[in-house]
Amino acid sequence: MATAPVRVVTLNLSHNGLEGVIPASLHQLSVLESLDLSSNKIGGEIPQQLASLTFLAILNLSHNHLLGCIPKGKQFDTFENSSYQGNDGLHGLPLSKDCGGDDGVPQATTLVELDDEEEENLISWQEVFMGFGCGLVIGLSIIYIMLSTHYPDCFLHPFLDLGNNELNDTFPSWLGGLPDLKILSLRSNKLHGPTSDSRTDNLFAKIRVIDFSSNGFSGNLPVSLFENFQALKKIGENSGTREYIAGDYSGNYANILIVTTKGLDQELPRVLTTYMIIDLSRNRFVGHIASIIGDLVELRMLNLSHNGLEDQAHALLQFRHMFTINLNASHYCYHPITLSWNKSTDCCSWNGVHCDETTGQVIELDLSCCGLQGKFHSNSSLFQLSSLKRLDLSYNYFSGSLISPKFGELSSLTHLYLEYSGFTGLIPAEISHLSKLYSLRIWSDDPYVLRLDPYNFELLLKNLTQLRYLKLDSVNISSTIPLNFSSYLTILRLPRTQLRGVLPERVFHLSNLKYLDLSSNSLTGPISSNVSGLQNLKYLDLSSNYLNGTIPSWIFSLPSLIYLELTNNSFRGKIQEFKSKTLAVVSVNQNQLQGPIPKSLLDKQDLQFLTLSQNNFSGQIPSAVCNLKTLIMLDLGSNNLNGTIPQCLGEMSDLEILSLRSNKLHGPISDSRTDNLFPKIGVIDLSSNGFSGNLPVSLFENFQAIKKIGENSGTREYIAGDYANILIVTTKGLDQELPLVLTTYTIIDLSRNRFEGHIPSIIGDLVGLCMLNLSYNGLEGKQFDTFENSSYQGNDGLRGLPLSKDCGGDDGVPQPTTPVELDDDKEEEGDLISWQVVLMGFGCGLWTDCFSRLQSENTDSARLGKQSFERNNPTMFRRLEFLDLGNNELNDTFPSWLGGLPDLQILSLGSNKLHGPIKDSRTNNSFAQIRVIDLSSKGFSGDLPVSLFENFQAMKIIGENSGTREYIADYYSVYYTNTLIVTTKGWDREFFHFLTTNIIINFSRNRFEGYVSSIIGDLVGLRALNLSHNGLEGVTPTSLQRLSVLESLDLSSNKIGGEIPQQLASLTFLAVLNLSQNHLVGYITKGKQFNTFENSSYQGNDGLRGLPLSKDCGGDDGVPQAETPVELDDEEEEGDLISWQEVLMGFGCGLVIGLSIIYIMLSTHYPVWFSRMVDSSLICRR
């Protein structure tokens, strides 16, 4: 099985005795993030190729014997002095030793940082005290001057240097108002706090040198400050003469300025006007480096070192590169916006990324539905985006990763969405540190793969006091409901979380609550009646718990209620009058409620879903129900309702589902000719009542929605979309609950009534019908020629095929197209029908399946005629993906017309009586999507159908391993399982789901002749190929070497000759090989998988030699003799292997049996079979 490539992200070989040089091949580790080779004896130069490691964040080559120049560019420009210290021979940045100027970097623009040790050597305490005194005097003088002169002329001076003092204050933003200030140095003080990011124009407009280094400034870089540096935005013309800042004053005094350049503090007695410097190093700035700095085109030196700055674009790209993009990472949506991310553009302009307009930091990241797939590492670069406020990773697939505790470090988060993203395991307690959270959504497709410790659940609710939206769907909490919910909560969704215990009253006192879902838990007891104030509650779902008692009156009084779901509890009593005028959904089925249908429900103009089934409601269905003009689903089944059906029900134009099953309704159904009755109906269930009269023909005529086949868009669309509509229908003889009803799931069930008369032919127009049940009525007349015996039994008046009562040939159905036809050997119908079987299957209804699965293991014989199939709704068969007719008695030629079914992926016709050659049609796209074809155990003859292999387009592609399993016909797996029996690797195996990557051809046990076509080598996706037990000749084609994922190859019991191609040794996935019983010659292929096969793979080929057979290859095959499994001594003769005692024992047994046979023959008066044998023997002798 193929394995994913290894991705090395950390390499640590430090503190060893390694020598030699650093191999340049390390540059191939393209995702390497950390490289530590420190404290070894490695010499030579640092390979320039390592500069291509764009993910390298940590480098430590210190304390070795390295020499030469340090590489430049990309990540190497970010490493500090400590990465290289202890290598006396190294030169270049960031070390102070120069590379001789050959690095091509102008010295004026070199970014130089001080070592920590060097910085300490520059400052002495005597100097500090001296500076302190001077600074104090100057400071007091400045204040005095400001107060006494109100902005004196001295402050029009362009030069202000307060560096190397003990100033302890916040940033003096008022300095930006000094109109002529060009040089400002506040370096080496104790200034702290954020620098004011004022939007005032013209602050520091003329500044050319600004030095805030070695302070305690924090927060984001001051973007607006950079925007105001107008003097740095235009390149000064070189006039040929040197111009100095404060030139007019230079005769009176020297403007001595200390700046750090090339790793040293330098005194500049005068500062050129072209000398532009920004030094913000050695502070606590965080966030990202603002792109606005790129507008400062005059800048000669920029030093932002020794801060907490990060490159947001790099962090985002690094995060994206940790995952693959997979269309099927989510079954719900796919918007791969990260594919458009480009490092050449500002990350704030990328799709899904939103930045703060002031600071430029990423504050929102929406990666939902991006198709991300792979492991989400706990140290992901995503956590570098410390200013994130909204993070959405939903609808991706992180392959069972744990939720990292580092999510708790994103302290600014207000919205965190992790739903449907493949996370598993324990939700970390650190999530409770996100005290600013407004919305937290965590849940999974698979129930309970995520867990939340009960203590952490209570801690989470305690700390997240700002929560508005909490959804932990299908998270295993296994706790009682805590009482410390945030009072701000508007949405609380905790379904399927294994909550238990009494439902606390506190939950219903959250006055801001709009949405409450505690369904599918183990909550007990009655609902508190002492509740008020939920004026905003719109959605209430307490279904599938163990709640009891009466439904409290406050629920019926909720003024804003839209959705009420109390299904599957033990509520009793009557439903009271609803006061809400906005009700859209009321579902109280599966309780013990009683009384008439409340009148207040029947005047709700917005009601769309009303399900009252499986209760004890009584009385008649009021005609006022027809006032519900917007109703989509009406389920009143399994109650005690009586009377007739209101005729006006058919006038409800939006009604799609109507279930009145299992009541006491009676009378005929009006056969009105009114047009457009039930125009949208898709499911109608009137079963188990007392309806009588003829089937309503006009009703069937009006079922417009069932007269067209719904297109399979590839996505499941449900009636009522997001709402869970539990509907009980009888399918395949069993009552089933459908929590969701597909829009393509169309049903008519009129069984167990008193209908009589004929089955109207108009039903044949309902081509979109999935299920039809007319059983247990008094129907008579002809039946549809597409259905089987069990569909009609129990109707004594019915006759004709497939029932045993004959219609005398007057049924008008041409004999050649009858779907079921008896074999000549089985003309007595009694052989086909057992009365025990009839009685056991008496309750079965009349069914046809949308998906047309026809698998059975009957002994009935039938013809697989094209006309029989096409007459039975050919448009429906065009959607067929899975067709299994194996293990029957079908007797016909190959149905080549099946190749025209465009979606057919699995075809099994194995173990029938099909025969004749397979037509070698050149029709394009025949069986283009086929992935499994089983024509085994039949009588097919002639050459292998080459053109058929040419058309197998789906087999010509190797399915990529996306990390998720995709199944054929998975769209329908909600309703049934596609069980298929195939022979693979020598075993009959039953597959309940069939992967799209399981590609199989089985043509075994037929009468095929000719050669094994080389075209099979193009079917590179094949996993199993079985051509055994035929009459194939020629040689084994070398093209089979291209079947790189082939796991099973069976060519046994043919007439194949020649040698085994050596190229087949390249099939590294080959687990089963059977070439036995052929005419193969030469040496057995060696190497890889061929070293694992046993003797049985080759037996019956007299010309074969080599391992594992006992016949030696003469020593020239390169296999040492000692390894031969069986080797005879030279002196041993073959005769010594046979025991004469055993021969005599066998001879005696054979003699006795032979005499017995002669005695039986003579005593039975010369049986016919022996006579024929003797006659044929005499003829042969003549």
- Indicate the residue type of 165: N
Q: Does residue 230 belong to any structural domain of this protein?
A: yes
- Choose one of 755, 781, 807: the last residue of a domain: 781
Confidence of residue 550 (pLDDT cuts 50, 70, 90): very high
pLDDT at 978 over 60: no
Q: Does residue 113 belong to any structural domain of this protein?
A: no
Of 586, 971, 967, 968, the closest CA to residue 742 belongs to 971
What is the per-residue pLDDT for 653? Answer: 84
DSSP state of 977: -
- Choose one of 469, 495, 521: the last residue of a domain: 495
- Same-domain check for residues 96 and 130: no
Confidence of residue 1155 (pLDDT cuts 50, 70, 90): low
Q: What is the CATH number of the domain that holds 164?
A: 3.80.10
Going by C-beta distance under 8 Å and a sequence separation of 6 or more, which residues neighbour residue 679?
653, 702, 704, 705
What is the per-residue pLDDT for 1182? Answer: 39
Query: Phi, psi (5° rounding) for residue 197?
Result: -100, 60
pLDDT at 287 over 80: no
Averaged pLDDT score across all residues of the chain: 76
Longest distance between any two alpha carbons in the chain, whole Å: 149
**Residue-by-residue DSSP string for 191-226:** -EEEPP----TTTTTT--EEE--SSEEEEE--HHHH
Q: Which is higher by pLDDT, 161 or 202? A: 161
DSSP state of 387: T
CA distance 673 to 668: 15
pLDDT tens digits for 1052-1075? Answer: 999 999 999 988 988 988 888 999
What is the per-residue pLDDT for 611? Answer: 93
Confidence of residue 580 (pLDDT cuts 50, 70, 90): confident
CA distance 226 to 535: 52
Residues in the chain, overall count: 1182
Confidence of residue 236 (pLDDT cuts 50, 70, 90): low
CA distance 467 to 679: 46
Average pLDDT over every residue of 1014-1032: 92
**Residue-by-residue DSSP string for 254-317:** ---EEEEETTEEEEESS-BTT--EEE--SSEEEEE--GGGGG-TT--EEE--SSEEE-HHHHHH
- Same-domain check for residues 978 and 1067: yes
Q: Does residue 260 belong to any structural domain of this protein?
A: yes
**Phi-psi sector, 531: left (phi>0), alpha (psi -120 to 50), beta:** beta
Confidence of residue 661 (pLDDT cuts 50, 70, 90): very high
**Range with the poorest average pLDDT among 240-254, 816-830, 912-926, 1167-1181:** 816-830
| DSSP 3-state of 907 | strand
| DSSP 3-state of 485 | coil
Q: Does residue 1141 belong to any structural domain of this protein?
A: no
- Same-domain check for residues 994 and 1080: yes
pLDDT at 975 over 60: no
- Same-domain check for residues 293 and 402: no
| Residue 106: both structure tokens together | 């102008």
CA distance 757 to 884: 36
- Indicate the residue type of 23: P
- Same-domain check for residues 946 and 960: yes
pLDDT tens digits for 611-633? Answer: 999 999 999 999 889 888 899 99
- Same-domain check for residues 184 and 306: yes
Q: What is the CATH number of the domain that holds 528?
A: 3.80.10.10
- Same-domain check for residues 990 and 961: yes
pLDDT at 360 over 70: yes
Statement: the pTM of the whole predicted model exceeds 0.85: no
- Indicate the residue type of 1105: R
- Same-domain check for residues 306 and 316: no
The per-residue b/e assignment along 218-244, b for 16 or more CB within 10 angstroms, e otherwise, is ebbbbbbbbbbbebbeeeeeeeeeeeb
pLDDT tens digits for 755-788? Answer: 998 888 888 788 778 778 888 888 875 444 445 5
- Same-domain check for residues 904 and 994: yes
pLDDT at 603 over 70: yes
Going through 992-1074 in order, the beta strands assigned E by DSSP cover 1000-1002, 1007-1009, 1024-1026, 1048-1050, 1057-1058, 1072-1074
Are residues 1115 and 1089 in contact, defined by beta-carbon separation less than 8 angstroms? Answer: no
What is the per-residue pLDDT for 1147? Answer: 63
**Range with the poorest average pLDDT among 395-404, 451-460, 619-628, 744-753:** 744-753
Q: Does residue 1002 belong to any structural domain of this protein?
A: yes
Looking at the structure of the chain, the number of domains it has is 6
Give the strand order in the sheet containing 284-288.
Answer: 192-194, 216-220, 284-288, 308-310
Q: Does residue 708 belong to any structural domain of this protein?
A: yes
Burial of 643 (0-12, 13-18, 19+ CB in 10 A): middle
Give the per-residue SS3 of 917-930.
ECCCCCCCCCCCCC
Give the per-residue SS3 of 767-800.
CCCCEEECCCCEEEECCCCCCCHHHCCCCCEECC
Are residues 664 and 688 in contact, defined by beta-carbon separation less than 8 angstroms? Answer: no
Are residues 186 and 211 in contact, defined by beta-carbon separation less than 8 angstroms? Answer: yes
pLDDT tens digits for 886-938? Answer: 777 778 888 877 887 888 888 888 888 888 898 765 566 788 888 889 888 76
Average pLDDT over every residue of 110-139: 54
Q: Does residue 838 belong to any structural domain of this protein?
A: no
CA distance 306 to 285: 9
Are residues 185 and 160 in contact, defined by beta-carbon separation less than 8 angstroms? Answer: yes
Q: How far is CA 132 from CA 125, 136, 137, 785, in A?
A: 10, 6, 9, 108
What is the per-residue pLDDT for 1132? Answer: 36
Q: Which is higher by pLDDT, 285 or 984? A: 285
Q: How far is CA 379 from CA 75, 166, 317, 318, 986, in A?
A: 19, 39, 15, 12, 48
CA distance 84 to 574: 83
Are residues 699 and 676 in contact, defined by beta-carbon separation less than 8 angstroms? Answer: no
Are residues 180 and 155 in contact, defined by beta-carbon separation less than 8 angstroms? Answer: no
The whole domain housing 551 covers 499-583
What is the per-residue pLDDT for 737? Answer: 62
Q: By percentage, how much of the chain surpasses pLDDT 90?
A: 28
- Same-domain check for residues 279 and 411: no
What is the per-residue pLDDT for 439? Answer: 96
How far out from the chain centre does Cα 648 lie?
46
- Report which listed range, 92-96, 203-207, 264-268, 858-862, is most confident: 203-207
Average pLDDT over every residue of 295-316: 80
- Choose one of 310, 341, 356: the last residue of a domain: 310
- Same-domain check for residues 258 and 323: no
Going by C-beta distance under 8 Å and a sequence separation of 6 or more, which residues neighbour residue 141?
none
pLDDT at 230 over 90: no
pLDDT at 865 over 70: no
CA distance 369 to 363: 19
Q: In DSSP terms, which residues pair with 373 in a beta bridge?
A: 324, 397
Q: In DSSP terms, which residues pair with 184 in a beta bridge?
A: 160, 210
How far out from the chain centre does Cα 1141 lie?
69
Going by C-beta distance under 8 Å and a sequence separation of 6 or more, which residues neighbour residue 191?
167, 168, 169, 170, 171, 212, 215, 216, 217
Q: By percentage, how much of the chain surpasses pLDDT 70?
A: 69
| DSSP 3-state of 730 | strand
Going through 551-605 in order, the beta strands assigned E by DSSP cover 563-565, 570-573, 585-587, 592-595
**Phi-psi sector, 638: left (phi>0), alpha (psi -120 to 50), beta:** left
- Report which listed range, 24-38, 842-856, 865-879, 1120-1134, is most confident: 24-38
What is the per-residue pLDDT for 492? Answer: 94
What is the per-residue pLDDT for 739? Answer: 59
- Report which listed range, 55-69, 900-914, 977-991, is most confident: 55-69
Q: Does residue 911 belong to any structural domain of this protein?
A: yes
Average pLDDT over every residue of 498-512: 89
- Same-domain check for residues 1020 and 1038: yes
